[in-house]
A and B are shown apart, each in its own frame.
Chain A
Amino acid sequence: MRNVSTFGSFTTARLGIYAAQKGLEVTGNNMTNINTTGYTRQRLDQMSFVSGGPDYYAVPMGTKVGNGVITTGVSQLRDPFLDIAYRNANTNVGQADTKLAWLEQVADVLDEVGKGSDDNGLLYKQMQDVIDAVNQMITEGAGHQEYDALVRTAAQGLTDLFNTYAKGLEQKKEHLETSLKQDVETVNGLLKNIQELNDSIRKADVRGDSALELRDQRNLALDELSNYMKIDVSYEMEDVGSGTMVEKLVVSISDTNIKLVDGKYVTQASVDMKDNYNIKLEELKDRFGKDTPNKQNQQTLGETLQGSLQASRDMLNGKGEFASKADIKADPNATTKRGIPYYQKSLDLLANKFADVMNAANAKGKKPDGTPGGVLFSNSSDGDAKDGITAKNISISKGWSTGATQLQCSADPNAPASATDNLAHILAELTGKGHKFEPTDVAADADSQDPLFTGSFQDMFLNIQGVLGNDIKNTAVVLNSYATTLDEVYVDRDSISGVDLNEEATNMMQYQKAYSAACRLMTTLDQALDKLINGTGVVGL
């Protein structure tokens, strides 16, 4: 149909004003949301408007002109590939960040750099004090009770520090357990949130509403979720009846078929505190508790997880060289994952070996009646039992604290009370560098048969700190690298989806000019018609 209407061009001007007005609104929306987290820049979609179709009766002289502009909608500028890249980077950052945070918590307990008087450390210095006290006893005080008491006091300080450190690590582990539970609750909250958003977006889709802000919120929730676990996000089309297809969001654990979200159906996670802190997923349900048609049974995620949740699990499970066959079966990398249990066991091993060697050294000494020297270190302060000694329970034996047992000065029962040969043996053991620290001493089911470390007691403690220090250092480097990648991907994504003030300012001027131009067109048309209506055929009147 040809546009033959006299006032048709007014519509063109009106559409121009309307499009420019909408353009200004979109620009305003973009500019005001520049600091809104997760906001995706919007664009006004517009197209040239031509009324009618091909004209059957067209004639060569006929001129066909468009009728202006129409706005077809508002769309978002977003690149799904960059979303994937961002979420993958975010998973890596989440994992390294959580690991580093908890390693630093362990370092709060074990790292002795700059601690103690004159920066000599605490437990490390206390071991030295025990050595010094025995050394002094050899030189000046063999056979004198007060020197035995000096050694005992130094040893008491050492056992107290072992106990304190063990309790410190235990508390850190409890805190981490609480933190993991909270993280799982956060994940559940995010999944529920995504479910509700999916529901709302689905309804909007059916109504033909693009629901851009809801999609932003959903993307934000997905970004956040990717910090906790590595996810794959895909969009499928769903038939909602009458041939109407709407978009359906599916979120699954990366590299698996395990779904977290399937449109309006989501799962909920829980952590099994008694089974390797495994994350378990419930069946997929909608908001009313109904199962999805494609039923997914309960799932145990095991070691397939990545991200912050897995970092917490590794820190809670990681026994390193103390891992048993069962641990290795559950996780082939178990021997290289050193979490809080590794440091607990290492400290236990040090305390256990120390007590063991000292008790054996004292037993090598003989009392005047020929019986071996008594137990110095026990698993509790109210007894003399020397089995199952750990960093948490190591104590001065009841016998030593009451004076019934003393450091046995000589291996010869007939030697004078001031003989020092066995004290020299004790000193040699205290400083000896040949002690083998075998994981099986404190973890009977440990798979590793090789010593964790061979050296002196003090060196073993430095080894524990060294392993921790190196792990922190390496994790910090890895985190830094991941964070840089995340920053880069963020900027890349922002270069597509982010608002830029210069650009919006340009758009604002552009739409303003377009608005003015459309108004000017209307004025011009008005003037033209005025001439036609009021100024035509009036010659001679």
Chain B
Amino acid sequence: MIRITTNGTLRNYKSQLMNSTKNLNDRYNAVLTGRRFNAYSEDPVSATQAFRLRSSLATNAKQTSNNDTVVKKFSTAWDIIGDVHEDLVVKMGKVPALSGSNGTNLSVLPELGQVLSAGADAIVQDMNGKYGDNFIFGGADTLKVPFEFNDKGELLYRGQKVDDMKPTDPADPDNPNTYEKIDDKLYVDVGLGFQEGNNGIISSSAYDSALNGLDFLGYGTDGDDLPNNVVSIMKELGEMFQSYDTKTNTWGKGSAEEAQKLMNKLEQASDRLNKAHVELDAKTTFLKTNQERLTATGDNLNEQVVNVEDVDPAQAIMELVWAQQAYNAALKVGTNIIPQSLLDYMN
């Protein structure tokens, strides 16, 4: 027969009471902190999962903020391009150009030419607009004024003559006077994966937030050596109109035919600007949709963090009440165990 001694019983009791107290304390902590675990060792898998989710949440917040910044930049750009198209290219470009070319307003051609020149200057000013501290239409160069005129009145983009610029010639890819050379990217992490490949960031994993002013205004010349750029066209047409001598009815520069050709070019440039404007709108719409996606992802991540880390209050309180019951029962048992012995019944 196993002898059960007073101290053996007490040691067992103490040990069990300690377990019960610890359990009660753990349940208290769960209710008070609202957390399922308070140390990595309590649940290493969940702790790792929770930290990863928190990191994803922080990244998501940053991506949302990046997306927001790009949306605002693009919205500002959209407004500017809208103004440039409606108020400057149409009202100060196409309208006076049409008026001048229909042959009935030849007496006011010089004035119309001034309007065209002023319109061209205004376009450049608008296209040099900023969002925050950064120039919007400078492509990857957001620190320097993108458009300016040189001494000869020629339009420059990032220091290069816009009219001299050509598409990249495969036979001479290193020619610095090519459009691709300045068609650089500003990749931003908006939650598309942001991964690096062998040749830098994989374009589909990031969003290019660079806006190249030439995509809107055009560059280079056509086969007739006429500029494609709307500013150059308006500038040249303006000069042509201004050169018209109303007394002698002669053209100082160009001719009615050349003016007509430039008119057609202006029409094309206007169409391109309009098209680019619509494309920008489509890009902004994509970003806004992306914003919604990011917000939904953020909400989802938050929910996951809560699921992994937080206790279910109802369950936690139920467990606490149960632990209290067990603890109280242990105490009750203790008051019965400790004093009982034969000695208490002796006379």
**Are A132 and B12 in contact, CB atoms less than 8 angstroms apart?**
no
B62 interface hit (Cβ, 8 Å)? yes
Residues of A within 8 A of B7 (CB): 34-35, 494, 498-499
Q: Give the nearest-CB partner of A509 in chain B.
A: B346
**Are A138 and B189 in contact, CB atoms less than 8 angstroms apart?**
yes
Task: Say which residue of B38, B141, B184, B187 sits within 8 Å of A114 (CB atoms).
Answer: B38
B161 interface hit (Cβ, 8 Å)? no
B196 interface hit (Cβ, 8 Å)? yes
Residues of A within 8 A of B346 (CB): 505, 509
**Are A415 and B201 in contact, CB atoms less than 8 angstroms apart?**
no
**Are A498 and B6 in contact, CB atoms less than 8 angstroms apart?**
yes
**Are B143 and A417 in contact, CB atoms less than 8 angstroms apart?**
yes
Residues of A within 8 A of B51 (CB): 112, 121, 124, 458, 462, 465
B171 interface hit (Cβ, 8 Å)? no
Residues of B within 8 A of A502 (CB): 6, 341-342
What's the A-B contact tally at a CB cutoff of 8 Å? 200
Chain A 469-511 residues near chain B, CB threshold 8 A: 469-473, 476, 487, 490-492, 494-496, 498-503, 505-506, 509
Q: Give the nearest-CB partner of A467 in chain B.
A: B44
| Contact stretch, chosen from B97-105, B132-140, B261-269 | B132-140
Bound complex: CA of A179 vs CA of B188, how far in Å? 54
**Are A498 and B194 in contact, CB atoms less than 8 angstroms apart?**
no
Contact A143-B143, Cβ < 8 Å, known A418-B134, A491-B11: yes
Bound complex: CA of A494 vs CA of B2, how far in Å? 10
**Are B69 and A418 in contact, CB atoms less than 8 angstroms apart?**
no
A139 interface hit (Cβ, 8 Å)? yes
Bound complex: CA of A418 vs CA of B206, how far in Å? 17
Bound complex: CA of A111 vs CA of B43, how far in Å? 12
A432 interface hit (Cβ, 8 Å)? yes
A101 interface hit (Cβ, 8 Å)? no
Residues of B within 8 A of A458 (CB): 51-52, 55
Chain B 57-73 residues near chain A, CB threshold 8 A: 58-59, 62-63, 65-66, 69-70
Residues of A within 8 A of B196 (CB): 424-425, 428-429, 432
**Are A139 and B39 in contact, CB atoms less than 8 angstroms apart?**
no
Task: Say which residue of A139, A468, A469 sits within 8 Å of B66 (CB atoms).
Answer: A139
Residues of A within 8 A of B2 (CB): 492, 495
Bound complex: CA of A501 vs CA of B144, how far in Å? 96
B48 interface hit (Cβ, 8 Å)? yes
**Are A111 and B343 in contact, CB atoms less than 8 angstroms apart?**
no
Residues of B within 8 A of A128 (CB): 55, 58-59
Residues of A within 8 A of B209 (CB): 139
**Are A114 and B33 in contact, CB atoms less than 8 angstroms apart?**
yes
Residues of A within 8 A of B42 (CB): 113, 469, 473
**Are B40 and A111 in contact, CB atoms less than 8 angstroms apart?**
yes
Q: Give the nearest-CB partner of B186 in chain A.
A: A420
Task: Say which residue of A112, A119, A136, A491 sits within 8 Å of B8 (CB atoms).
Answer: A491
**Are B11 and A418 in contact, CB atoms less than 8 angstroms apart?**
no
Binding site for B on A (CB under 8 A): 34-35, 107, 111-114, 119-121, 124-125, 128, 131-132, 135-136, 138-144, 415-421, 424-425, 427-429, 431-432, 458-459, 462, 465-466, 468-473, 476, 487, 490-492, 494-496, 498-503, 505-506, 509
Binding site for A on B (CB under 8 A): 2-8, 11-12, 15, 33, 35, 37-42, 44, 47-48, 50-52, 54-55, 58-59, 62-63, 65-66, 69-70, 132-134, 138-144, 158, 184-189, 194-196, 200-201, 206, 209, 309, 341-343, 346
Given A113-B37, A135-B189; 11 other pairs, CB 8 A cutoff: A124-B54, A125-B58, A138-B188, A424-B187, A458-B51, A462-B48, A466-B44, A494-B5, A498-B5, A500-B6, A505-B343
25 contacts between A and B (CB under 8 A): A112-B51, A113-B37, A114-B33, A128-B59, A135-B63, A135-B189, A139-B65, A416-B143, A417-B141, A417-B143, A419-B141, A424-B200, A424-B201, A458-B55, A465-B40, A491-B11, A492-B2, A495-B4, A498-B7, A499-B6, A500-B4, A500-B6, A501-B343, A502-B6, A506-B342
